[in-house]
Structure 1
Amino acid sequence: MRVLIAAGGTAGHINPALAIAGALRAARPDTEIHFAGRREGMEFGLVTEAGYTFHHIEVNGIQRRLTPKNVVRNLQAVWHLALSGPRAKAILREVQPDLVIGCGGYVSGPVVRCAAKMGIHTAIHEQNAFPGVTNKLLARDVDVVFAAVPAAVEKLGAPDKTLVVGNPVRPEIFAQDRAEARARLAAGDKTVILSFGGSLGARRINEVVADLVAWEQKSRPHTILHLHATGSRGVELFHRLGEEKGFAPGQDLVVSEYIRNMPQLLAAADLVISRAGALTLAELQAAGRAAILIPSPNVAENHQYYNALELQKAGAALVIEEKDLTGEGLIQAVEGLLAEPGKLGVMGKMARAMAEPESLNKITARLLRLVDEGK
């Protein structure tokens, strides 16, 4: 069986795609997996590191804010869009897949649409309650639609072929040994805080985490191990903030650009500070981790905020909207959680109770039936 998966843009699209790829290969070891995406996007590194064949296709989004730079980018986007159909067809002819899966990002559009027109079995997965434009357009043409939550079904517009499966999480998230993960970090009895703002980085999160780290090193020396990912756009900013506020990486602070061993770090963590993307929440639930969630205000229908509220209602997280976010406020939130013994453990158990451990199994079974039976 040959499978082509199209996904790109963010880890929230790419990691579910990698999870599905791994599950298909586990179910059928002779499965040949290929990926399509942008070579300049983060998908190239993640996919090739996982050992899968990568096919380049250039597709970009239209920038709504009109600046001289964005006008140039929009002209390039239109040009790439015009070329994407022939390129998608060339990839499909080369791979000759039995199944094509779209997991989000602009690259999914031309690849999945072209596959459907060629009569190849197709499926898409929508991670959010408010579907992206690409998946809403594709839902009419594909054979199977996977939705993470019931709220997305009607919005996708194809309820008769939509299956609610949750968000697929890599099995290693569930399977990590916490004691071993903490030993690898030499965490000892320290409270481990893991913070990140996404693969590109979020300026405001980097700024307030800098305030938090400065407080930790001054007021809680050697009691907290803080692991922070700046994102690609936050490397220089966080270094500069460290110089300004008087902290530096060392035995109590580990700073990286991007987290490549998320299963291990989630297993070791006591508290996670992050955005509230659909995949992030699914992984927090799978790992059973307490969280302070800072929803991105720059998403359709403010869906990260409403997703995060579900965890707060369940007692698994605290939610701080970015408009209310300050360094002092974040410090107070962390200090309050640490002041109550056992609080983080209870929140983690509440998160774990919300997990969808059968998501990958449901997706895999349905995809194999599509290929085997054609329905």
Structure 2
Amino acid sequence: MLKILIGMSDTGGGHRSAAESLAAVIKQQRGDSVEVVVADLLSNHTFWPLNQVRHAYAPVVTRAPSLWKLSWWLPEATWRWKLLQRSFLPLLRGPLGGYLRAQHPDLYISVHPLLNHMPLRLLHAAGNYCPAATVVTDLGGGHPTWFCPDIDLITVGSQALYDLGLQRGVPRSRLRLLGLPVNPRFGAPGQDQASLRRALNLAEGRPTALVIGGGEGMGPLAEITRALAQALSAVGGQVAVICGRNEKLRAELAGQDWPLPVVVQGFVRNMSEWMAASDCVVTKAGPGTIIEACIVGRPIMLSDFIEGQETGNVTYVVENGIGAFSREPEEIGRIVRGWLTPGNAGLAAMSLRARAMARPHATTDITNALLNLVNRRTPRRDRRGPVPKKRPLRLT
């Protein structure tokens, strides 16, 4: 049986979502002939403080932006990144190297920027030279550690990331512009909007704004929801809010009195239905959410972005005419009210442009490219000899 290991980490919701989307399509194509393991390698198979990245991500991004900028700056210079690898690799040989040896995959796939260079070295040190691939889940810009020139295949979702890969030394033959992996449900035919609204307890005839805070419910969602409620009451609208894992925020919003219908949800697994039931999406500039909204054809009101990795996403949305950006809740309310005013032809035009930019079959295209790597390999029993206990770790 073919064994595929997908390395990710729960820093935000996008990495797990991408990993699970790829795993689902791989299983659809290969069925019982393949075993797909999705593993949070940073949280479960590294050491302190690396194994705390999952818990530190949201606080650092929101409360310590200078520290986040430092984590972005350190690997930008190749010599600094090599120095970091030399420091961490010996410490990772036991926890992460041991796990990779035990899994012994036929194909390794990374969907996280910190799980490319070092896992590849540890696989090689264990005598496993299986194909390795990176599926970049950023869009308009990306962390420099995404790009390891020795990885067999790197897929990206935009021309900006393709160009960055070339700048980071990735051979053109190993770089593919295929889009971003999203849940297959986003490309599948769905129910009509009225039926979806009934199923989700939304009023059928009201213009609807969907507010999304990502997997962690990040950002000033309460302030944005209040501003939208005030603004959309003038056009008979309604608001749906997805709070993710932020239970405190969900309880706060659910307990308030609103001047119009406001439906509050926690973490959901049917985001495609919520988007299709809405008329526009209000979200921070997460790449996965942007692409999902494009596939469904929903204009995007960006409310925030993470410096560095999401800066280019704002440019992607605004310059392509598929949405707008503002950090001010009142301005967000004003812009969305203009979009949702009955008879506004601009909303339909943005919807058409968003659909035109979408790559609804990207997950399948990426999966085909990944499986082609193992199609060219010999079976597991024909690989190199026994796994050595130790091999020197070499940086290239």
Aligned partners of 1:164 and 1:141: how far apart in 2? Answer: 18
Equivalent residue, structure 2, for 1:349: 352
- Kindly provide the CA deviation profile for residues 138-160 of structure 1, in whole angstroms up to 9, marking residues without a partner as x: x2221111111122224222123
Aligned partners of 1:7 and 1:148: how far apart in 2? Answer: 18
Equivalent residue, structure 2, for 1:130: 141
Aligned partners of 1:177 and 1:342: how far apart in 2? Answer: 24
Equivalent residue, structure 1, for 2:267: 258
State the SS of the aligned residue for 1:203: coil
| Higher-RCO chain (CA-CA 8 Å, sequence separation at least 6) | 2
Tell me: CA distance 1:286–1:124, structure 2 relative to 1, closer, same or farther (3 Å): same
The CA deviation at 1:112 is: 4.0
Q: AA paired with 2:369?
A: R
The CA deviation at 1:306 is: 1.5
1:230-245 pair list within 5 angstroms: 230-233=243-246, 235-236=247-248
Give the number of equivalent residue pairs. Answer: 336
Equivalent residue, structure 2, for 1:228: 241
Indicate whether 1:338 and 2:340 are aligned.
yes
Aligned counterpart for 1:199 among listed residues 185, 200, 215: 215
Aligned partners of 1:297 and 1:11: how far apart in 2? Answer: 14
Equivalent residue, structure 2, for 1:121: 131
1:45-124 pair list within 5 angstroms: 56-57=45-46, 59-60=50-51, 65=66, 83-107=91-115, 110-117=118-125, 118-124=128-134
Aligned partners of 1:290 and 1:346: how far apart in 2? Answer: 9
Indicate whether 1:275 and 2:296 are aligned.
no
The CA deviation at 1:226 is: 1.6
Equivalent residue, structure 2, for 1:4: 5
- Kindly provide the CA deviation profile for residues 208-243 of structure 1, in whole angstroms up to 9, marking residues without a partner as x: 2222224445x45xx43321123445x435755787
Q: AA paired with 2:335?
A: A
Equivalent residue, structure 2, for 1:321: 326
Give unmatched runs, 5+ long, in structure 2: 72-85, 379-396
Report the TM-score when normalising by structure 2.
Answer: 0.74
| 8 Å contact from structure 1 (residues 213, 247) kept in 2 | no
Percent of aligned positions with the same letter in both sequences? 24
Q: AA paired with 1:191?
A: P
State the SS of the aligned residue for 2:129: coil
> What value does the CA root-mean-square deviation take over the aligned residues?
3.2
Give unmatched runs, 5+ long, in structure 1: 41-54, 71-77
Aligned counterpart for 1:177 among listed residues 185, 191, 196: 191
| 8 Å contact from structure 1 (residues 36, 56) kept in 2 | no
Aligned partners of 1:3 and 1:254: how far apart in 2? Answer: 40
| 8 Å contact from structure 2 (residues 3, 35) kept in 1 | yes
Aligned counterpart for 1:18 among listed residues 17, 20, 36: 20
- Kindly provide the CA deviation profile for residues 316-343 of structure 1, in whole angstroms up to 9, marking residues without a partner as x: 32x1232xx2x32122112211224153
Tell me: CA distance 1:254–1:160, structure 2 relative to 1, closer, same or farther (3 Å): same
State the SS of the aligned residue for 2:358: coil
- Kindly provide the CA deviation profile for residues 168-195 of structure 1, in whole angstroms up to 9, marking residues without a partner as x: 2222112122344223124322222210
Indicate whether 1:164 and 2:177 are aligned.
yes
| 8 Å contact from structure 1 (residues 272, 289) kept in 2 | yes
Equivalent residue, structure 2, for 1:364: 367
| 8 Å contact from structure 1 (residues 295, 304) kept in 2 | no
